[in-house]
Amino acid sequence: MKRISLNVILTGIIVILVAALVVVLVYLKNQPPQKRGVAPIVQIVSMEPDSAIWGENFPNEYSTLLLTRTNNARTQYGGSEPYSKLIEDPRLITLFKGYTFEKDYNEDRGHLNSLIDVRATKRVNDKTPGTCYSCKSTDNPRLWAELGMATFDHAPFSELGTRINNPIGCANCHEAGTMRLIVTNPALEEALTAQGKDWRTFTRQQMRTIVCANCHVEYYFAGDGKYLTFPWKNGTKIENIAQYYVEIAFKDWDHQISGAPMIKMQHPDFELYTADSTHYRAGVSCADCHMPYTRDGAAKFSSHDVKSPLSEVDKACGACHTDVEYVKSRVETIQEQVYETLIATEDALVAAITSIQAAGASPNVDPALLNEARSLHREAQLRWDFIAAENSMGFHNPEEALRILAIATNLARQAQLKAVQAAGTPAVLPASP
Ligand code: HEC
Ligand code: HEC
Ligand code: HEC
Ligand code: HEC
Protein backbone atom coordinates (compact mmCIF):
# COMPACT_ATOMS: atom_id res chain seq x y z
CA MET A 1 0.00 0.00 0.00
CA LYS A 2 2.69 2.40 1.13
CA ARG A 3 4.88 1.36 -1.85
CA ILE A 4 2.10 1.93 -4.47
CA SER A 5 1.30 5.43 -3.25
CA LEU A 6 5.00 6.32 -3.37
CA ASN A 7 5.17 5.16 -7.02
CA VAL A 8 2.07 7.14 -7.90
CA ILE A 9 3.46 10.24 -6.26
CA LEU A 10 6.81 9.88 -8.02
CA THR A 11 5.15 9.34 -11.42
CA GLY A 12 2.90 12.30 -10.78
CA ILE A 13 5.92 14.51 -10.02
CA ILE A 14 7.70 13.36 -13.17
CA VAL A 15 4.62 14.06 -15.33
CA ILE A 16 4.27 17.54 -13.84
CA LEU A 17 7.99 18.27 -14.37
CA VAL A 18 7.87 17.13 -18.02
CA ALA A 19 4.75 19.20 -18.63
CA ALA A 20 6.40 22.25 -17.05
CA LEU A 21 9.51 21.75 -19.17
CA VAL A 22 7.40 21.59 -22.34
CA VAL A 23 5.60 24.80 -21.37
CA VAL A 24 8.92 26.58 -20.67
CA LEU A 25 10.44 25.40 -23.98
CA VAL A 26 7.39 26.49 -25.97
CA TYR A 27 7.45 29.87 -24.21
CA LEU A 28 11.17 30.41 -24.93
CA LYS A 29 10.77 29.40 -28.57
CA ASN A 30 8.14 32.08 -29.03
CA GLN A 31 10.29 34.87 -27.57
CA PRO A 32 11.99 37.41 -29.90
CA PRO A 33 15.69 36.68 -30.56
CA GLN A 34 18.03 37.64 -27.74
CA LYS A 35 19.75 41.06 -28.19
CA ARG A 36 23.12 42.12 -26.75
CA GLY A 37 22.93 44.57 -23.86
CA VAL A 38 19.84 46.26 -22.51
CA ALA A 39 16.58 46.50 -24.42
CA PRO A 40 16.47 49.60 -26.67
CA ILE A 41 14.58 52.54 -25.22
CA VAL A 42 13.93 54.20 -28.58
CA GLN A 43 13.75 52.78 -32.08
CA ILE A 44 16.49 54.32 -34.25
CA VAL A 45 15.61 54.69 -37.92
CA SER A 46 18.13 53.72 -40.57
CA MET A 47 20.85 56.39 -41.06
CA GLU A 48 19.40 58.62 -38.29
CA PRO A 49 21.60 61.73 -38.42
CA ASP A 50 20.87 62.98 -34.87
CA SER A 51 23.36 61.35 -32.48
CA ALA A 52 21.30 62.51 -29.49
CA ILE A 53 18.55 60.04 -30.47
CA TRP A 54 21.02 57.15 -30.57
CA GLY A 55 22.33 58.50 -27.28
CA GLU A 56 19.08 57.63 -25.50
CA ASN A 57 19.88 53.95 -25.98
CA PHE A 58 23.63 54.31 -25.49
CA PRO A 59 24.26 57.10 -22.96
CA ASN A 60 27.93 56.21 -22.30
CA GLU A 61 28.94 56.24 -25.97
CA TYR A 62 26.98 59.47 -26.53
CA SER A 63 28.31 61.33 -23.50
CA THR A 64 31.90 60.47 -24.44
CA LEU A 65 31.29 61.53 -28.06
CA LEU A 66 30.15 64.91 -26.68
CA LEU A 67 33.59 65.35 -25.08
CA THR A 68 35.18 65.61 -28.54
CA ARG A 69 33.75 69.12 -28.79
CA THR A 70 36.03 70.37 -26.05
CA ASN A 71 38.96 67.92 -25.87
CA ASN A 72 41.21 70.79 -26.96
CA ALA A 73 44.43 69.84 -25.15
CA ARG A 74 47.64 70.37 -27.07
CA THR A 75 50.40 67.77 -27.24
CA GLN A 76 53.92 68.36 -28.57
CA TYR A 77 53.02 67.54 -32.19
CA GLY A 78 49.28 66.89 -32.09
CA GLY A 79 46.31 67.28 -29.83
CA SER A 80 43.27 69.35 -30.67
CA GLU A 81 44.19 72.98 -30.23
CA PRO A 82 43.51 74.56 -33.63
CA TYR A 83 46.81 76.46 -33.87
CA SER A 84 48.00 77.73 -37.28
CA LYS A 85 50.55 75.42 -38.85
CA LEU A 86 51.61 78.30 -41.15
CA ILE A 87 52.62 80.56 -38.26
CA GLU A 88 54.36 77.64 -36.56
CA ASP A 89 56.40 76.76 -39.67
CA PRO A 90 56.57 79.49 -42.36
CA ARG A 91 58.33 77.10 -44.80
CA LEU A 92 54.85 75.76 -45.49
CA ILE A 93 53.85 79.05 -47.14
CA THR A 94 56.61 78.50 -49.74
CA LEU A 95 55.77 74.81 -50.15
CA PHE A 96 52.06 75.50 -50.81
CA LYS A 97 52.56 78.68 -52.90
CA GLY A 98 49.62 79.16 -55.26
CA TYR A 99 47.32 76.79 -53.37
CA THR A 100 44.62 77.42 -50.76
CA PHE A 101 46.72 75.76 -48.03
CA GLU A 102 49.08 78.72 -48.29
CA LYS A 103 46.30 80.88 -46.78
CA ASP A 104 44.87 78.77 -43.98
CA TYR A 105 46.10 75.51 -42.45
CA ASN A 106 45.18 74.67 -38.86
CA GLU A 107 45.66 71.67 -36.60
CA ASP A 108 42.60 69.38 -36.51
CA ARG A 109 40.17 69.13 -33.61
CA GLY A 110 37.79 66.55 -32.21
CA HIS A 111 34.92 64.98 -34.18
CA LEU A 112 32.07 67.20 -33.00
CA ASN A 113 33.82 70.29 -34.42
CA SER A 114 33.87 68.94 -37.96
CA LEU A 115 31.09 71.15 -39.36
CA ILE A 116 32.12 74.37 -37.59
CA ASP A 117 35.71 73.94 -38.75
CA VAL A 118 35.02 73.08 -42.40
CA ARG A 119 32.72 76.11 -42.65
CA ALA A 120 35.24 78.42 -40.99
CA THR A 121 38.30 77.57 -43.08
CA LYS A 122 39.41 80.20 -45.59
CA ARG A 123 40.14 77.34 -47.99
CA VAL A 124 36.41 77.16 -48.78
CA ASN A 125 35.25 79.54 -51.53
CA ASP A 126 32.59 79.86 -54.29
CA LYS A 127 34.15 77.09 -56.33
CA THR A 128 34.33 74.57 -53.46
CA PRO A 129 32.39 71.40 -54.36
CA GLY A 130 29.99 69.51 -52.07
CA THR A 131 32.65 66.79 -51.91
CA CYS A 132 34.28 68.74 -49.04
CA TYR A 133 31.39 67.70 -46.79
CA SER A 134 32.15 63.99 -47.35
CA CYS A 135 33.93 63.44 -44.04
CA LYS A 136 32.11 65.96 -41.91
CA SER A 137 28.53 64.94 -41.19
CA THR A 138 26.07 62.24 -40.16
CA ASP A 139 23.66 63.65 -42.75
CA ASN A 140 25.85 62.17 -45.50
CA PRO A 141 24.81 58.49 -45.42
CA ARG A 142 21.18 59.52 -45.96
CA LEU A 143 22.07 62.10 -48.66
CA TRP A 144 24.30 59.58 -50.46
CA ALA A 145 21.40 57.10 -50.42
CA GLU A 146 18.95 59.73 -51.69
CA LEU A 147 21.07 61.59 -54.24
CA GLY A 148 23.87 59.20 -55.12
CA MET A 149 27.46 60.27 -54.49
CA ALA A 150 27.94 61.84 -57.95
CA THR A 151 25.12 64.37 -57.36
CA PHE A 152 26.29 65.00 -53.78
CA ASP A 153 29.84 65.77 -54.94
CA HIS A 154 28.78 67.91 -57.90
CA ALA A 155 26.53 70.19 -55.80
CA PRO A 156 28.14 73.48 -54.76
CA PHE A 157 29.39 73.45 -51.16
CA SER A 158 27.11 76.32 -50.12
CA GLU A 159 24.00 74.73 -51.65
CA LEU A 160 24.62 71.26 -50.22
CA GLY A 161 25.32 72.90 -46.86
CA THR A 162 21.65 73.84 -46.43
CA ARG A 163 20.88 70.10 -46.12
CA ILE A 164 23.72 69.36 -43.69
CA ASN A 165 23.17 70.12 -40.02
CA ASN A 166 24.91 67.47 -37.93
CA PRO A 167 28.63 66.94 -37.26
CA ILE A 168 30.32 63.52 -37.24
CA GLY A 169 28.41 60.99 -35.14
CA CYS A 170 26.91 57.53 -34.78
CA ALA A 171 25.56 57.19 -38.35
CA ASN A 172 29.08 57.64 -39.79
CA CYS A 173 30.30 54.41 -38.20
CA HIS A 174 27.31 52.27 -37.12
CA GLU A 175 24.27 50.62 -38.69
CA ALA A 176 21.13 51.49 -36.72
CA GLY A 177 19.41 48.47 -35.20
CA THR A 178 22.33 46.02 -35.34
CA MET A 179 24.87 48.67 -34.15
CA ARG A 180 27.55 46.84 -36.14
CA LEU A 181 30.41 48.87 -37.61
CA ILE A 182 29.95 49.58 -41.31
CA VAL A 183 31.56 51.31 -44.27
CA THR A 184 29.39 54.37 -44.88
CA ASN A 185 31.46 56.31 -47.43
CA PRO A 186 30.76 55.09 -51.01
CA ALA A 187 34.31 56.12 -52.01
CA LEU A 188 35.76 53.63 -49.50
CA GLU A 189 33.40 50.93 -50.71
CA GLU A 190 34.53 51.57 -54.31
CA ALA A 191 38.23 51.69 -53.37
CA LEU A 192 37.98 48.36 -51.55
CA THR A 193 36.04 46.78 -54.41
CA ALA A 194 38.73 47.96 -56.86
CA GLN A 195 41.22 45.99 -54.75
CA GLY A 196 38.96 42.93 -54.76
CA LYS A 197 38.10 43.35 -51.07
CA ASP A 198 34.68 43.13 -49.41
CA TRP A 199 34.48 44.66 -45.91
CA ARG A 200 31.44 42.50 -45.15
CA THR A 201 33.85 39.57 -44.82
CA PHE A 202 36.19 41.46 -42.44
CA THR A 203 36.73 40.40 -38.84
CA ARG A 204 35.54 42.56 -35.97
CA GLN A 205 39.15 43.63 -35.29
CA GLN A 206 39.60 44.67 -38.96
CA MET A 207 36.38 46.70 -38.78
CA ARG A 208 37.79 48.57 -35.77
CA THR A 209 40.38 49.99 -38.20
CA ILE A 210 38.54 50.17 -41.53
CA VAL A 211 35.73 52.27 -40.03
CA CYS A 212 38.27 55.11 -39.59
CA ALA A 213 39.27 54.73 -43.27
CA ASN A 214 35.87 56.20 -44.16
CA CYS A 215 37.67 59.52 -43.61
CA HIS A 216 41.30 59.30 -42.38
CA VAL A 217 42.78 58.58 -45.82
CA GLU A 218 44.33 60.24 -48.87
CA TYR A 219 41.76 61.09 -51.57
CA TYR A 220 41.26 63.34 -54.59
CA PHE A 221 38.37 64.83 -56.54
CA ALA A 222 38.13 63.11 -59.94
CA GLY A 223 36.96 65.00 -63.05
CA ASP A 224 34.65 67.98 -63.41
CA GLY A 225 32.09 66.29 -61.14
CA LYS A 226 34.70 66.39 -58.33
CA TYR A 227 33.93 62.71 -57.64
CA LEU A 228 35.48 61.59 -54.35
CA THR A 229 38.09 58.92 -55.15
CA PHE A 230 40.77 57.10 -53.14
CA PRO A 231 43.95 56.58 -55.23
CA TRP A 232 44.29 52.95 -54.12
CA LYS A 233 44.01 51.02 -57.37
CA ASN A 234 47.71 50.05 -57.34
CA GLY A 235 47.85 49.64 -53.56
CA THR A 236 48.00 51.96 -50.54
CA LYS A 237 51.76 52.48 -50.09
CA ILE A 238 53.18 55.86 -51.08
CA GLU A 239 54.88 54.44 -54.19
CA ASN A 240 51.56 52.92 -55.38
CA ILE A 241 49.76 56.21 -54.82
CA ALA A 242 52.44 58.35 -56.52
CA GLN A 243 52.42 55.97 -59.50
CA TYR A 244 48.61 56.16 -59.70
CA TYR A 245 48.67 59.97 -59.88
CA VAL A 246 51.26 59.82 -62.69
CA GLU A 247 49.13 57.30 -64.62
CA ILE A 248 46.03 59.51 -64.50
CA ALA A 249 48.11 62.69 -65.05
CA PHE A 250 46.52 64.34 -62.01
CA LYS A 251 47.54 67.55 -60.25
CA ASP A 252 45.91 69.61 -57.50
CA TRP A 253 47.64 72.85 -58.52
CA ASP A 254 50.62 74.36 -60.32
CA HIS A 255 53.30 75.51 -57.92
CA GLN A 256 53.49 79.29 -58.21
CA ILE A 257 57.28 79.48 -57.84
CA SER A 258 58.65 76.28 -59.41
CA GLY A 259 55.82 75.71 -61.92
CA ALA A 260 55.63 72.02 -60.97
CA PRO A 261 52.26 70.16 -61.21
CA MET A 262 51.65 69.40 -57.54
CA ILE A 263 49.70 66.90 -55.41
CA LYS A 264 48.39 67.86 -51.95
CA MET A 265 48.18 64.87 -49.64
CA GLN A 266 45.21 64.88 -47.27
CA HIS A 267 45.53 62.80 -44.08
CA PRO A 268 46.77 59.29 -44.92
CA ASP A 269 46.57 57.97 -41.33
CA PHE A 270 45.15 54.65 -42.52
CA GLU A 271 47.67 54.17 -45.35
CA LEU A 272 50.76 54.91 -43.23
CA TYR A 273 49.52 52.78 -40.33
CA THR A 274 48.71 49.76 -42.50
CA ALA A 275 52.02 49.93 -44.42
CA ASP A 276 53.33 47.08 -42.29
CA SER A 277 53.76 48.97 -39.02
CA THR A 278 54.69 46.94 -35.93
CA HIS A 279 51.29 47.52 -34.33
CA TYR A 280 49.36 46.74 -37.51
CA ARG A 281 51.29 43.51 -38.00
CA ALA A 282 50.49 42.60 -34.39
CA GLY A 283 46.77 42.99 -35.13
CA VAL A 284 46.27 46.23 -33.16
CA SER A 285 43.40 48.44 -34.44
CA CYS A 286 42.91 52.23 -34.52
CA ALA A 287 40.17 51.85 -31.89
CA ASP A 288 42.54 50.00 -29.51
CA CYS A 289 44.55 53.21 -29.00
CA HIS A 290 42.00 55.93 -29.80
CA MET A 291 38.85 54.42 -28.24
CA PRO A 292 40.10 52.48 -25.21
CA TYR A 293 37.66 50.56 -23.00
CA THR A 294 36.32 52.51 -20.06
CA ARG A 295 34.32 51.44 -17.02
CA ASP A 296 31.13 53.00 -15.77
CA GLY A 297 30.29 50.95 -12.71
CA ALA A 298 29.61 47.46 -14.02
CA ALA A 299 29.37 48.56 -17.67
CA LYS A 300 32.45 48.41 -19.92
CA PHE A 301 32.28 50.48 -23.09
CA SER A 302 34.51 52.02 -25.77
CA SER A 303 35.36 55.64 -25.09
CA HIS A 304 33.97 57.65 -27.99
CA ASP A 305 36.06 60.64 -26.91
CA VAL A 306 38.40 59.99 -29.85
CA LYS A 307 41.58 62.05 -29.34
CA SER A 308 45.35 61.95 -28.87
CA PRO A 309 46.20 58.81 -26.87
CA LEU A 310 48.99 60.81 -25.24
CA SER A 311 46.40 62.54 -23.08
CA GLU A 312 45.35 59.14 -21.62
CA VAL A 313 48.30 56.75 -21.99
CA ASP A 314 47.27 54.59 -19.04
CA LYS A 315 44.00 53.68 -20.75
CA ALA A 316 45.20 53.83 -24.37
CA CYS A 317 48.50 51.92 -24.05
CA GLY A 318 48.12 50.27 -20.64
CA ALA A 319 45.76 47.59 -21.93
CA CYS A 320 48.75 45.96 -23.68
CA HIS A 321 51.91 47.56 -22.28
CA THR A 322 52.88 47.21 -18.64
CA ASP A 323 55.57 49.93 -18.77
CA VAL A 324 53.39 52.83 -19.87
CA GLU A 325 55.93 55.54 -19.01
CA TYR A 326 58.50 53.79 -21.21
CA VAL A 327 56.25 53.54 -24.28
CA LYS A 328 55.21 57.15 -23.79
CA SER A 329 58.86 58.19 -23.82
CA ARG A 330 59.31 56.11 -27.00
CA VAL A 331 56.57 58.17 -28.66
CA GLU A 332 58.41 61.37 -27.74
CA THR A 333 61.72 60.07 -29.14
CA ILE A 334 60.13 58.78 -32.35
CA GLN A 335 58.21 62.01 -32.95
CA GLU A 336 61.29 64.14 -32.30
CA GLN A 337 63.34 62.11 -34.81
CA VAL A 338 60.61 62.24 -37.44
CA TYR A 339 60.10 65.98 -36.87
CA GLU A 340 63.81 66.78 -37.31
CA THR A 341 63.95 64.68 -40.47
CA LEU A 342 60.76 66.30 -41.76
CA ILE A 343 62.22 69.81 -41.31
CA ALA A 344 65.41 68.74 -43.12
CA THR A 345 63.23 67.58 -46.02
CA GLU A 346 61.40 70.93 -46.01
CA ASP A 347 64.71 72.80 -46.22
CA ALA A 348 65.72 70.64 -49.20
CA LEU A 349 62.35 71.34 -50.86
CA VAL A 350 62.56 75.10 -50.32
CA ALA A 351 66.10 75.06 -51.77
CA ALA A 352 64.90 73.09 -54.82
CA ILE A 353 62.01 75.50 -55.38
CA THR A 354 64.35 78.52 -55.21
CA SER A 355 66.82 76.96 -57.67
CA ILE A 356 64.11 75.92 -60.13
CA GLN A 357 62.74 79.46 -60.07
CA ALA A 358 66.20 80.90 -60.72
CA ALA A 359 66.83 78.37 -63.50
CA GLY A 360 63.52 79.29 -65.11
CA ALA A 361 64.60 82.94 -65.20
CA SER A 362 68.07 82.29 -66.60
CA PRO A 363 68.62 83.12 -70.32
CA ASN A 364 69.88 79.78 -71.71
CA VAL A 365 67.70 77.41 -69.73
CA ASP A 366 67.08 73.92 -71.20
CA PRO A 367 63.28 73.50 -70.99
CA ALA A 368 63.38 69.68 -71.00
CA LEU A 369 65.77 69.56 -68.04
CA LEU A 370 63.74 72.25 -66.28
CA ASN A 371 60.64 70.06 -66.58
CA GLU A 372 62.58 67.13 -65.18
CA ALA A 373 63.49 69.32 -62.22
CA ARG A 374 59.80 70.18 -61.77
CA SER A 375 58.76 66.50 -61.83
CA LEU A 376 61.36 65.77 -59.18
CA HIS A 377 59.99 68.63 -57.07
CA ARG A 378 56.48 67.17 -57.34
CA GLU A 379 57.60 63.64 -56.43
CA ALA A 380 59.69 64.87 -53.49
CA GLN A 381 56.96 67.07 -52.07
CA LEU A 382 54.12 64.58 -52.29
CA ARG A 383 56.25 62.09 -50.35
CA TRP A 384 57.10 64.70 -47.71
CA ASP A 385 53.43 65.67 -47.49
CA PHE A 386 52.39 62.03 -47.01
CA ILE A 387 54.23 62.20 -43.67
CA ALA A 388 53.53 65.89 -42.91
CA ALA A 389 49.76 65.65 -43.48
CA GLU A 390 49.54 62.35 -41.63
CA ASN A 391 48.50 63.10 -38.06
CA SER A 392 50.88 61.14 -35.78
CA MET A 393 54.27 62.76 -36.56
CA GLY A 394 55.44 59.34 -37.65
CA PHE A 395 54.36 57.35 -34.60
CA HIS A 396 51.84 55.22 -36.53
CA ASN A 397 54.75 53.75 -38.50
CA PRO A 398 58.17 55.17 -37.56
CA GLU A 399 60.32 53.08 -39.96
CA GLU A 400 58.11 53.82 -42.94
CA ALA A 401 57.94 57.54 -42.09
CA LEU A 402 61.74 57.84 -41.96
CA ARG A 403 62.14 55.77 -45.13
CA ILE A 404 59.76 58.03 -47.05
CA LEU A 405 61.37 61.23 -45.75
CA ALA A 406 64.85 59.97 -46.75
CA ILE A 407 63.61 59.36 -50.28
CA ALA A 408 61.86 62.75 -50.36
CA THR A 409 65.02 64.59 -49.31
CA ASN A 410 67.04 62.76 -51.94
CA LEU A 411 64.49 63.63 -54.65
CA ALA A 412 64.46 67.29 -53.57
CA ARG A 413 68.25 67.51 -53.83
CA GLN A 414 68.07 65.81 -57.24
CA ALA A 415 65.52 68.43 -58.30
CA GLN A 416 67.94 71.14 -57.27
CA LEU A 417 70.85 69.52 -59.19
CA LYS A 418 68.60 69.18 -62.23
CA ALA A 419 67.86 72.92 -62.01
CA VAL A 420 71.61 73.62 -62.04
CA GLN A 421 71.97 71.41 -65.13
CA ALA A 422 69.00 73.10 -66.79
CA ALA A 423 70.47 76.55 -66.19
CA GLY A 424 73.98 75.40 -67.05
CA THR A 425 75.34 77.33 -64.05
CA PRO A 426 75.59 76.85 -60.27
CA ALA A 427 74.59 80.49 -59.91
CA VAL A 428 71.00 79.26 -59.42
CA LEU A 429 71.91 77.67 -56.09
CA PRO A 430 70.61 79.79 -53.21
CA ALA A 431 73.20 81.55 -51.06
CA SER A 432 73.87 79.36 -48.03
CA PRO A 433 71.70 80.38 -45.05
C1 HEC B 1 49.44 51.91 -31.14
C2 HEC B 1 48.51 52.99 -30.91
C3 HEC B 1 47.89 53.68 -32.10
C4 HEC B 1 47.21 53.12 -33.14
C5 HEC B 1 46.96 51.66 -33.41
C6 HEC B 1 46.75 54.21 -33.96
N7 HEC B 1 47.12 55.40 -33.41
FE8 HEC B 1 46.63 57.22 -34.09
N9 HEC B 1 47.94 58.05 -32.78
C10 HEC B 1 48.63 57.38 -31.82
C11 HEC B 1 49.55 58.30 -31.17
C12 HEC B 1 50.50 57.99 -30.02
C13 HEC B 1 49.40 59.55 -31.81
C14 HEC B 1 50.15 60.86 -31.55
C15 HEC B 1 49.33 61.78 -30.75
C16 HEC B 1 49.98 63.10 -30.48
O17 HEC B 1 51.00 63.44 -31.09
O18 HEC B 1 49.43 63.83 -29.63
C19 HEC B 1 48.34 59.37 -32.79
C20 HEC B 1 47.80 60.39 -33.56
C21 HEC B 1 46.67 60.26 -34.33
C22 HEC B 1 45.90 61.36 -34.86
C23 HEC B 1 46.14 62.83 -34.54
C24 HEC B 1 45.68 63.08 -33.15
C25 HEC B 1 46.00 64.44 -32.64
O26 HEC B 1 45.62 64.70 -31.48
O27 HEC B 1 46.61 65.24 -33.32
C28 HEC B 1 44.89 60.81 -35.62
C29 HEC B 1 43.84 61.56 -36.40
C30 HEC B 1 45.05 59.38 -35.56
N31 HEC B 1 46.12 59.08 -34.74
C32 HEC B 1 44.24 58.47 -36.23
C33 HEC B 1 44.51 57.10 -36.25
C34 HEC B 1 43.90 56.16 -37.16
C35 HEC B 1 42.87 56.52 -38.20
C36 HEC B 1 44.43 54.93 -36.89
C37 HEC B 1 44.22 53.62 -37.62
C38 HEC B 1 44.41 53.67 -39.07
C39 HEC B 1 45.34 55.10 -35.78
N40 HEC B 1 45.38 56.41 -35.44
C41 HEC B 1 46.02 54.05 -35.14
C42 HEC B 1 48.48 56.04 -31.49
C43 HEC B 1 47.85 55.12 -32.29
C1 HEC C 1 34.20 57.25 -35.54
C2 HEC C 1 33.40 56.07 -35.53
C3 HEC C 1 32.35 55.92 -34.46
C4 HEC C 1 31.37 56.82 -34.12
C5 HEC C 1 31.17 58.22 -34.66
C6 HEC C 1 30.56 56.17 -33.14
N7 HEC C 1 31.06 54.92 -32.87
FE8 HEC C 1 30.30 53.57 -31.57
N9 HEC C 1 31.89 52.38 -31.86
C10 HEC C 1 32.90 52.60 -32.75
C11 HEC C 1 33.89 51.55 -32.62
C12 HEC C 1 35.18 51.44 -33.42
C13 HEC C 1 33.42 50.67 -31.64
C14 HEC C 1 34.04 49.37 -31.15
C15 HEC C 1 33.29 48.29 -31.84
C16 HEC C 1 33.78 46.90 -31.59
O17 HEC C 1 34.69 46.72 -30.79
O18 HEC C 1 33.24 45.98 -32.22
C19 HEC C 1 32.15 51.22 -31.20
C20 HEC C 1 31.32 50.58 -30.25
C21 HEC C 1 30.05 51.00 -29.95
C22 HEC C 1 29.10 50.23 -29.18
C23 HEC C 1 29.34 48.83 -28.57
C24 HEC C 1 29.70 48.95 -27.10
C25 HEC C 1 31.02 49.63 -26.86
O26 HEC C 1 31.00 50.76 -26.32
O27 HEC C 1 32.08 49.07 -27.22
C28 HEC C 1 27.97 50.99 -29.08
C29 HEC C 1 26.69 50.65 -28.34
C30 HEC C 1 28.21 52.23 -29.80
N31 HEC C 1 29.47 52.20 -30.31
C32 HEC C 1 27.32 53.28 -29.89
C33 HEC C 1 27.60 54.48 -30.54
C34 HEC C 1 26.72 55.62 -30.50
C35 HEC C 1 25.40 55.68 -29.77
C36 HEC C 1 27.32 56.60 -31.23
C37 HEC C 1 26.85 58.02 -31.42
C38 HEC C 1 26.52 58.73 -30.18
C39 HEC C 1 28.57 56.06 -31.74
N40 HEC C 1 28.70 54.78 -31.27
C41 HEC C 1 29.45 56.74 -32.56
C42 HEC C 1 32.99 53.64 -33.63
C43 HEC C 1 32.16 54.75 -33.64
C1 HEC D 1 33.03 60.64 -40.99
C2 HEC D 1 34.45 60.89 -41.08
C3 HEC D 1 35.35 60.40 -39.96
C4 HEC D 1 35.41 59.14 -39.39
C5 HEC D 1 34.59 57.91 -39.73
C6 HEC D 1 36.46 59.20 -38.42
N7 HEC D 1 37.01 60.46 -38.37
FE8 HEC D 1 38.39 61.13 -37.08
N9 HEC D 1 38.18 63.03 -37.78
C10 HEC D 1 37.44 63.38 -38.89
C11 HEC D 1 37.55 64.82 -39.10
C12 HEC D 1 36.92 65.60 -40.24
C13 HEC D 1 38.36 65.32 -38.06
C14 HEC D 1 38.78 66.78 -37.81
C15 HEC D 1 37.66 67.57 -37.20
C16 HEC D 1 38.02 69.03 -36.99
O17 HEC D 1 39.19 69.40 -37.01
O18 HEC D 1 37.07 69.83 -36.81
C19 HEC D 1 38.72 64.17 -37.24
C20 HEC D 1 39.49 64.23 -36.09
C21 HEC D 1 40.01 63.11 -35.44
C22 HEC D 1 40.94 63.15 -34.34
C23 HEC D 1 41.40 64.39 -33.65
C24 HEC D 1 42.49 64.97 -34.45
C25 HEC D 1 43.16 66.10 -33.75
O26 HEC D 1 44.13 66.58 -34.31
O27 HEC D 1 42.72 66.48 -32.68
C28 HEC D 1 41.29 61.86 -34.06
C29 HEC D 1 42.26 61.38 -33.01
C30 HEC D 1 40.54 61.00 -34.96
N31 HEC D 1 39.76 61.80 -35.77
C32 HEC D 1 40.64 59.63 -34.99
C33 HEC D 1 39.69 58.80 -35.61
C34 HEC D 1 39.61 57.37 -35.44
C35 HEC D 1 40.55 56.54 -34.60
C36 HEC D 1 38.54 56.94 -36.18
C37 HEC D 1 37.98 55.54 -36.28
C38 HEC D 1 37.58 54.93 -35.02
C39 HEC D 1 37.97 58.12 -36.82
N40 HEC D 1 38.68 59.22 -36.43
C41 HEC D 1 36.86 58.11 -37.66
C42 HEC D 1 36.68 62.53 -39.66
C43 HEC D 1 36.38 61.21 -39.32
C1 HEC E 1 46.10 46.18 -28.41
C2 HEC E 1 47.44 46.11 -27.86
C3 HEC E 1 48.34 47.33 -27.93
C4 HEC E 1 48.04 48.63 -27.62
C5 HEC E 1 46.70 49.22 -27.18
C6 HEC E 1 49.27 49.37 -27.78
N7 HEC E 1 50.28 48.55 -28.17
FE8 HEC E 1 52.22 49.07 -28.49
N9 HEC E 1 52.66 47.20 -29.06
C10 HEC E 1 51.76 46.14 -29.08
C11 HEC E 1 52.42 44.98 -29.63
C12 HEC E 1 51.79 43.61 -29.79
C13 HEC E 1 53.72 45.38 -29.97
C14 HEC E 1 54.81 44.54 -30.61
C15 HEC E 1 55.58 43.89 -29.53
C16 HEC E 1 56.73 43.12 -30.09
O17 HEC E 1 56.70 42.73 -31.25
O18 HEC E 1 57.69 42.96 -29.32
C19 HEC E 1 53.84 46.78 -29.58
C20 HEC E 1 55.01 47.52 -29.72
C21 HEC E 1 55.16 48.83 -29.31
C22 HEC E 1 56.37 49.60 -29.37
C23 HEC E 1 57.69 49.10 -29.92
C24 HEC E 1 57.59 49.33 -31.42
C25 HEC E 1 58.68 48.79 -32.21
O26 HEC E 1 58.69 49.12 -33.40
O27 HEC E 1 59.49 48.02 -31.68
C28 HEC E 1 56.10 50.84 -28.90
C29 HEC E 1 57.05 52.02 -28.76
C30 HEC E 1 54.70 50.86 -28.53
N31 HEC E 1 54.16 49.62 -28.78
C32 HEC E 1 54.05 51.96 -28.05
C33 HEC E 1 52.67 52.01 -27.78
C34 HEC E 1 51.97 53.19 -27.33
C35 HEC E 1 52.59 54.53 -27.07
C36 HEC E 1 50.66 52.84 -27.19
C37 HEC E 1 49.50 53.72 -26.76
C38 HEC E 1 49.32 54.94 -27.53
C39 HEC E 1 50.54 51.44 -27.56
N40 HEC E 1 51.77 50.97 -27.91
C41 HEC E 1 49.36 50.74 -27.54
C42 HEC E 1 50.46 46.16 -28.64
C43 HEC E 1 49.77 47.29 -28.27
- Burial bucket for residue 356 (CB in 10 Å: 0-12, 13-18, 19+): buried
Which ligand is located closest to the Cα atom of residue 322? Answer: 4
| Confidence band of 2 (pLDDT split at 50, 70, 90) | low
Q: Say if ligand 1 is within 6 A of residue 173 CB.
A: no
Mean pLDDT of all residues in 121-137: 90
First to last CA, the chain: 117
- What is the tens place of the pLDDT at every residue in 398-407? 999 999 999 9
- What is the tens place of the pLDDT at every residue in 376-413? 999 999 999 999 999 999 999 999 999 999 999 999 99
Residue-level pLDDT at 83: 83
- What is the tens place of the pLDDT at every residue in 37-91? 556 789 999 999 999 999 999 999 999 999 999 987 889 998 777 888 999 999 9
Q: Say if ligand 1 is within 6 A of residue 273 CB.
A: yes
- Burial bucket for residue 273 (CB in 10 Å: 0-12, 13-18, 19+): buried
- What is the tens place of the pLDDT at every residue in 9-27? 888 888 899 888 888 887 7
Residues 404/428/264/102 CA torsion (nearest 10 deg)? 130
Averaged pLDDT score across all residues of the chain: 93
Q: What is the pTM of this model?
A: 0.92
pLDDT at 33 over 60: no
Residue-level pLDDT at 36: 53
Residue-level pLDDT at 415: 98
Ligand 4 center to residue 317 CA distance, Å?
A: 7
Ligand 2 center to residue 214 CA distance, Å?
A: 14
Phi, psi dihedrals of residue 290, rounded to the nearest 5°: -100, -10
Residues 356/362/365/371 CA torsion (nearest 10 deg)? 20
pLDDT at 31 over 80: no
Ligand 3 center to residue 314 CA distance, Å?
A: 21
Lowest mean pLDDT among 107-121, 218-232, 273-287, 342-356: 107-121
3-state secondary structure of 295: strand
pLDDT at 114 over 60: yes
Q: Which atom of ligand 4 is nearest to the CA of 288?
A: 5
